[in-house]
Chains A and B, each alone.
Chain A
């Protein structure tokens, strides 16, 4: 009951915040009224990546055999499924919700607790989604571009989504004594490093091989998110019209 009230409150705040996002100007990819603040956060994030995350990911890649990297990937993916399931339900997508719960069951039982992934072979693929997308299907506007400390690129809508998705994560609720809490914090830390390593080439390219990494990240993030919101398809309305000017 308390959780429900909490989520409802977060959502009310979220809808209000998202509604406050600026409208984008013609020819603009996304509204970015907070650009100077965002740029400050971006340089802090980039500094953190350079000093900590990138070396950690390189170290992880060096010492972790690819088989273990693969298993870790499966586990992180598995742990996020309850949240994915809830989001499919909230989007009214019963079919993907069923696939997700079937996947969770199969990989828990046959896939040795989620370390293996037999479900994909059984036609129960991962159907990714999150609360940012749920908000989009409810008609909430994308809002303004934001770069969040530690989390990186986002929008007013996706920032609310990230908060709610954290509430959906089972590891968030593991509070069985200090040891378990440390264990769940470690899982989260390894997951961040794992994901940084998995997308190493792309992230390095965006952050370190472009003239303005802030704009590169924003361009990539916004287009990628729009594609996910329109169900993994390119949205015909978002296609550029080269002859319009």
Chain B
């Protein structure tokens, strides 16, 4: 089957009425989530999770992928109009987007954000189409040492690239791996740390942990700091950019696409890093860098394109290697596993309908977002005026139902609540949830590949360095750990992540 046949297969899956509807629901819901400050795609996944149980895995991933990239579209609306980023990936859009709105150019800012997101998202899908199968094919030769090396690299990278302290991120990764070791031993099937409870025999579920740590904790944090949002009052007119706007932003859009796509494949908050990197690049190569921050359109076009391209890039390690690189992709992996589908090197050859269906749905979803979102901007602005306190009961309703209906077990609700409290307290100490969630997913793979490798080598850890691919992964992972200990590198990294956190 050549690429053309595969694309045709994908469209034959995507263009069924059911999948089109799920794609539509996902993108619209994603935009809504992106618009609402303090509520991210992981929380949105929690809400939609119960609906996915009855769906086919293809439809479920089409809908959730729509939420993921839809949120990136929506995030720019609040950045531009309210100076509050709907998503962390839209923080940098506030700098020039809000200034444009203050100068009466909210329309072109919103327009270029939507068009840039469309171009970035669509071009990145081409990259996904070609790169994911190649990576998947290469990973077919992986044995236990390579899988261990890959998981090790993934966890060290996500810790290295996470915001704030590397030590704290590594602590979260180790805690996630420890939590993942609860349940049946992956080699001999004996129960471990279960204390005789049947709920824990299958391990601590990804869904209650994710909903608790991200959904519940996020809402609790918002309850604690309920604040009212004041919308900058301006007439939104002329959404379509002028010829000059196009001239100023087209190269920023193309550079943002490439940068965002490749950064998207890295573990960590890739959308956020992608948008910051794009802004920094545009400022660096601009002939008038001093104007950045005063309302230049390149400062909106580049970052908004990059964060959308990054969401597409994030699907590559997930679908071709089975390695989630963020909390959001960890949940997508969990959803596939609930449906009995295991992402990894064999995923594309075993489930071409799911892979190509999801890929082509992204084209359709991006077109839907572009067509719908420009005329709907007025509606999203009105949505911003809904008091958050009114949304809270509904969010909890879906979280509770989502967790309970997974196994019809009330114990899962308690697990969700425990992790909700843990997640809330973690935020107080600036401990990040993403490394924990990734480690929870990767834990069983890491343990079985480590133990199998040691059995093969009669206990010698040299096996991880004796095989070239695993050696590259392990050395890169160790390099991340070691460089994060060098004071100068550490300081630079912390300054950069501080900027991301504070939106400086």
Q: Do A and B come from one complex?
A: no
Name A's B-contacting residues (CB within 8 A): none
Name B's A-contacting residues (CB within 8 A): none
